[in-house]
Amino acid sequence: MSDDTYLNRYLEAVSDFRRARSRAKLEQVASRLRGESDELLEYEEVRKMLRVTNRVSRGLQDIPIDAIVGSVGRYSDFTRTFLPRQDADEGRWAKVRLRMTGLAGLPPIEVYQIDQAYFVLDGNHRVSVARRLGATHIQAYVTEVESSVPLSPDVRPDELILKAEYADFLSRTQLDRLCPEADLSVSIPGQYQKLEEHISVHRYFMGIDQKREIPYDQAVTHWYEKVYLPVAHVILERGILRDFPDRTEVDLYLWVMKHRTALAEELGWEVKPKSAATDLAARFSLAPQRVAARVRERILETVAPEGLVPGPVAGDWRQEHLIDSPQDRLFADILIAVDGAESGWHATEWALDVARREQARLVGLHVAPPGDEVDGEAVHALRAEFEERCSASGISGRMTASAGQVPRLVCDRARLADLVVLSLSHPYAPQPLARLGSGLRTILRRCPTPVVAVPKAAPPLRRMLLAYDGSPKAEEALFVATYVAGRWEIPLVVLTVTEDHHAAGEPLTRAQGYLEAHGVQAVFVQGHGPAAEFILSTAEKQAADLIVMGGFGFGPILEFTFGSTVEWVLRSCIWPVLVCQ
């Protein structure tokens, strides 16, 4: 190569270096405006933070340049994208560029690898030039530094604090050794201390249950498998990560458990993690559709009479209560309104029978008028009698008391229960204004769970009638009736009532197919004419002890004006009626 050619190529390399320096300055300004760092990571600092020690040679490899995030000794001389930051590097950088584009070439670089990220031990200028020339990979002698903490190429300096906390957590708990598949990454500092507190509390109660000292590693494994994973499964199953896109699974686990504790303190009963997770997403989700739903609900509650506010969407409850295994129960938590009246105790006895069948927990709710005392002698006596009745039946039961409006409190507490039981001592009258002011109607329309209305002293459940017309809410009633008939071994009668003789066959065929698919046998009855009359007369002829039907099919305005089949059945019924949403 002639001297002139070499000089021209060298000057071209110098010019490229200066352009790279200008680009580095622009990147620095842009990073500051974004509040981010444009610096390379310091290998030694990362190594100490992540507590890594063991090194294994992996030989010569082609590594992705974008995965090189730091340097052993020159981390302050280049930006995160390996643009030069020092003017004094001009000559060396230009010579490296000349050799890289010439026939002789340069030897491979040397790097340390931590998980998916690489740190340059020797060859920082070669990486800088290679990136500038548009290369995507570079040859390197790789020494892998083993770490129990994952490290990706997009890690930022401030994220290393979280990585360091994770490394300390793993060092103390040995979770990476006990449960190698575990990934407990977080997005907020201080979370690992909370996890260790959860493990310590779990270990304490394990010791009480087993009446012995529990080894720490056994408590860690048991907490991860029996406490953490079930909640994580709920978070993934419900898609809650989509509701909080900037949070990790562990962040949400801790938030769900904290929310669960707060709900238990507020309500006075233990809340299932699944219910707490669902309630958390409904209240605080950042997803646009959930935010819009909350705003819409608040507006309606402000401007519309309570009796005209729409209820839940048909199918929402079923989606939240799909059964994962034959051992799961549909009604694990039963909420019952307790008022101390004789009719209320009849409803309690009916609820206790369901609780025995389901091995469920009974939660009593006494609602006092706004401003009344809820901690007086009368309430204490009511609570004592309720809990004594539960104890005598071998059922776990507890009563809480609150002051306010009955419909609002029942519907609010029902979101954390699986079934609501009410006394049907005073069905509302047929006049429109009576409908609008009826607390029972408001509960039946707005309650997010199935509601059972129990009139007077109900007989033990021996036979059940399902009123089915193929509507969306009737589908929910079919789902519940199928579960009850199959799980409790209760004979089932399915009634299809239509105004048209020819239209009855389609819903009946659909119900038959669904029941057969779930191994449930039933007696099928068809009728045409006024639905409420047929439901009541068929229940009497078939000796049914429970009527199961879908909730209000019309919108609140039409139902308010013209009434509904549910209303007519409740007004005349002498059997409990289970209304599904």
Tell me the C-alpha distance between 99 and 89, whole Å: 16
Nearest to 577 by CA among 535, 547, 534, 542: 547
**Residue listed under structure tokens 């605080």:** 284
Count Cβ neighbours within 10 Å for each residue of 27-38 and write b for 16 or more, e otherwise: bbeeeeeeeeeb
Lowest mean pLDDT among 151-165, 319-333, 508-522: 319-333
Q: What is residue 228's predicted lDDT score, i.e. its pLDDT?
A: 96
- The stretches of 35-110 forming alpha helices (DSSP H) are 43-49, 90-101
Task: List, in sequence order, every residue forming a beta bridge with 334; answer none if it has no partner.
Answer: 362, 419
pLDDT tens-digit series, residues 286-328? 877 766 666 666 655 555 455 555 566 777 788 777 655 556 7
pLDDT tens-digit series, residues 67-121? 999 999 888 899 999 999 998 889 999 999 988 887 767 899 999 999 999 999 9
Among 27-31, 440-444, 492-496, the range with the most confident prediction by mean pLDDT is 492-496
Axis crossing angle, helix 565-572 with helix 531-541, rounded to the nearest 10 = 40
pLDDT tens-digit series, residues 198-236? 999 999 999 999 999 999 999 999 999 999 999 999 899
Q: What is the DSSP string of 329-350?
A: -S-SEEEEE--SSHHHHHHHHH
**Residue listed under structure tokens 């309500």:** 267
The residues spanned by each domain of the chain are 3-145, 159-284, 316-580
Largest Cα–Cα separation, the chain: 112
Count Cβ neighbours within 10 Å for each residue of 445-483 and write b for 16 or more, e otherwise: bbbbbbbbbbbeebeebebbbbbbbbeebbbbbbbbbbb
Q: Give 104's DSSP letter.
A: S
Amino acid at 540: E
Structure tokens at 274: 């699944």
Nearest to 128 by CA among 240, 16, 214, 30: 16
How many other CB atoms sit within 10 Å of the CB of residue 50? 24
Burial of 344 from C-beta contacts in 10 A (0-12 / 13-18 / 19+): buried
Mean pLDDT across the chain: 86
Domain 3-145 and domain 316-580, same fold? Reply is no
Domain 3-145 is of which CATH architecture?
Alpha-Beta Complex (3.90)
**316-580 has which fold?**
Rossmann fold (3.40.50)
pTM: 0.71
Q: How far is CA 164 from CA 48, 248, 450, in A?
A: 8, 17, 49
| pLDDT for 562 beyond 50 | no
Cβ neighbors of 227 (< 8 A, separation 6 or more) are 198, 202
Strands 117-122 and 451-454: unpaired
Residue count (the chain)? 581
Q: How far is CA 299 from CA 293, 303, 306, 568, in A?
A: 10, 6, 12, 31
pLDDT tens-digit series, residues 36-46? 778 899 998 88
Q: Give 363's DSSP letter.
A: E
In 3-state terms, what secondary structure has residue 459? coil
Query: What stretch of H or E contains 555?
Result: none
Cβ neighbors of 8 (< 8 A, separation 6 or more) are none
**Residue listed under structure tokens 């019309």:** 554
Tell me the C-alpha distance between 291 and 283, whole Å: 9
Task: List, in sequence order, every residue forming a beta bridge with 464; answer none if it has no partner.
Answer: 492, 546
